[in-house]
Amino acid sequence: MQMFLDILLVITSVLLVLLVLLHRAKGGGLSSLFGGGVQSSLSGSTVVEKNLDRITIFVGLIWFIAVLGIGFEIKFS
């Protein structure tokens, strides 16, 4: 179980870094390289940005659960 949680933590950590870098900042971010920057200033977020937000939150929750699992594993073993 410890090995699974360690691997899950590493994978989700790398994914979180990549997903956060893909988000659009004031300057456009890396998501503009993939077509996310082709939106009008009148509209809100694009569908791509909304899906990127959802995926980032989901991966963040998995990361948090893995951290809690490792903490409980250390505490109770």
Amino acid at 56: T
CA separation for the pair 45, 62 (Å, rounded): 24
How many structural domains compose the chain?
Answer: 1
Give 11's pLDDT tier (boundaries 50, 70, 90). very high
Q: Which domain holds residue 69?
A: 1-10+48-76
> Is residue 37 domain-resident?
no
Asked if the model's pLDDT at residue 50 lies above 50, the reply is yes
CA separation for the pair 48, 55 (Å, rounded): 10
Give 59's pLDDT tier (boundaries 50, 70, 90). very high
> Is residue 32 domain-resident?
no
Task: Report pLDDT digits (tens) over 17-38.
Answer: 999 998 876 655 565 566 655 5
23 touches 29 (CB < 8 A): yes
pLDDT, position 42 = 44
* The model's pTM: 0.74
> Is residue 24 domain-resident?
no
